Amino acid sequence: MNRRFLPKSMHGQMLLSVALALLAAQLLSGILLYRAEQRRIESTLISQLAFQLVRDPQIDLRGENPRSGRRAERRRLRLERVLESPQLRGDMRDPEREAALREVLQEQGVEVAQLVVLSRPFSRDRYLMRRMREAPDLYRETFDSDGMVVLAGLKRANADRWMVARAPLRSRSVRAFRGVIFQTLILYAVLVGGLALLLRRISRPLAALTARVERFGGIADTGEPMKLSGPEDTRRLIAAHNAMEARIANLLDEKNVMLGAIGHDLKTPLAALRVRIESVEDDTERAKMARTIEDITDTLDDILSLARVGRSSDPLERTDISALVASVVEEYEDMGEDVALGETVRVALPVRATWLRRAIRNLIGNALRYGSQARIGLRRDETHAIIRIADTGPGIPEGEIAAMLEPFTRGESSRNRETGGAGLGLTLARAIAEQHGGSLALANRIGADGSIAGLVAEIRLPL
């Protein structure tokens, strides 16, 4: 069975199952109705035949009352009286009807010697054809000239002739079905339509909630709590969600306040320390101390930024990415570092420039730390702007690339204090790329001789 055509939503599945259940119920009642109708037709047929046979077998009304003869003739079908059984070759006897008719006749006190019930097409019944020519109106009313006729031949005990009664065999009535179909349609309109409305009432707030939860992901600041709507269950769910959202927002706020306080409380003593080391006479010693303080500050900034990146309140601004990349590269040029800006294209994207600048800085800083040289480029493909930072360092063993993006991981070859940094740089760069809906990818650059010639970091930002 092909599942693609089955509805996936709650809405669709419920509607489909209700529609199927309704269809089954209506089919069942249709069948029951049909069978009741069949029985009714059958018993009418039997009574018709019995009535004709029982009523007055001996007297021909026509002969007795010549004046009203025509009217009488109009009112009833005349019995045929024959010497032989009415069964012709090719006629099928109908034992069920025979039994039913026999029962009715015996109840009426008729002594049955022989009884045959059979059906044949109207056109094959010579008696009827003859009578039809005599009184076409009467017969045309009663019989369908394309239909079937049921004949009942009765030979009473001690009678010498057969009496043959005739009744039309009614084609199966579709009238009853028309009723069922009409009823089904109304039920469908009322039930399925009503249900659709009701389900919409449930599923609309659910869809809104889903969208909200998806949006909530990183940025908690969705403003107003969600409006309660839908039936009670849905309202309770929304209320619970709102409460949870508020709790998360509170936690994040607390975290931000706490981090701000940590930042302030650590930076002031660091600043004091930085001032105090100016009294150190030894220049190299002082420079080392200054470098250490700088490292602590950088790490602290990375930690604070990483904690804040998901909840940045900075607005997105359409920014010339090539100018942004160039300005970061220029900072490093001015510091006398070996950086070079290669090919760039003009791309303008809505970004948080302060953050993106930080991500690029981290990647260039990383490249310079491990590779002493950074080559920066900006290109674009159909879907992304790609900022590429390549170095000439030792690269990363293939298996460790994913781990490098996790917090506090640094390459094996560099696990010493001299290289500085707590390994948050790449994590932060990735978090910033993701904050912009993009990604950060690291890959080894393979040189001409097949060995690793350096590392390439690429920030991909969706256009």
Partner 1 sequence: MSESPVRLLLVDDEASLREPLADYLSRQGFVVQQAADAAKARSALLEDMPDLVLLDIMMPGEDGISLCRHLVESRNLPVIFLTAKGESTDRIVGLEIGADDYVVKPFEPRELVARIRSVLRRTAKGAVAGPAAASEAHYEFDGWQLDPLKRRLVDPEGTVVPISSAEFRLLVALLDHPQQVMDRDRLLDMVQGREAHLFDRAVDNQVSRLRRKIEVDSRDPKLIQTVWGGGYILAAEVKRFTPEVN
| Contacts (Cβ under 8 Å, ≥6 apart) of 26 | 180, 183, 184, 187
Q: Which residue has the tokens 């009503």?
A: 194
Q: Minimum Å distance from CB 345 to partner 1?
A: 13
Q: Minimum Å distance from CB 327 to partner 1?
A: 5
Side-chain half-sphere exposure of 394, counting CA atoms within 13 A: 10
**Residue 196 near partner 1 by CB under 8 A:** no
Q: Minimum Å distance from CB 270 to partner 1?
A: 4
**Residue 257 near partner 1 by CB under 8 A:** no
Closest CA to 345 of 380, 319, 316, 314: 380
**Residue 217 near partner 1 by CB under 8 A:** no
Q: Which residue has the tokens 């002739």?
A: 161
Closer CB to partner 1, residue 58 or residue 313? 313
**Residue 331 near partner 1 by CB under 8 A:** yes
**Residue 264 near partner 1 by CB under 8 A:** yes
Closer CB to partner 1, residue 110 or residue 433? 433
Residue 162 and residue 153 in contact, taking contact as beta carbons nearer than 8 Å: yes
Closer CB to partner 1, residue 235 or residue 286? 286
| Contacts (Cβ under 8 Å, ≥6 apart) of 202 | 10, 230, 231, 233, 234
What is the distance between the alpha carbons of residues 220 and 318, in angstroms, rounded to a whole number?
23
What is the distance between the alpha carbons of residues 113 and 414, in angstroms, rounded to a whole number?
119
Task: Tell me the two tokens of residue 102.
Answer: 């026999």
**x-or-dash string of contact with partner 1, 336-375, rule CB under 8 A:** ------------x----xx--x------------------
Closer CB to partner 1, residue 77 or residue 324? 324
User: What is the footprint of partner 1 within residues 267-326 (CB under 8 A)?
Assistant: 267-276, 278-279, 290, 293, 297, 301, 314, 317-320, 323-324, 326
Applying CB under 8 A, the span of 210-218, 262-270, 410-418, 455-463 interacting with partner 1 comes to 262-270
Query: What would the DSSP string read from start to end of 45-83?
Result: HHHHHHHHHHH-SS--HHHH-STTHHHHHHHSPPPEEES
**Where along the sequence are the contacts to partner 1 (CB under 8 A)?**
260, 263-264, 267-276, 278-279, 290, 293, 297, 301, 314, 317-320, 323-324, 326-327, 330-331, 334, 348, 353-354, 357
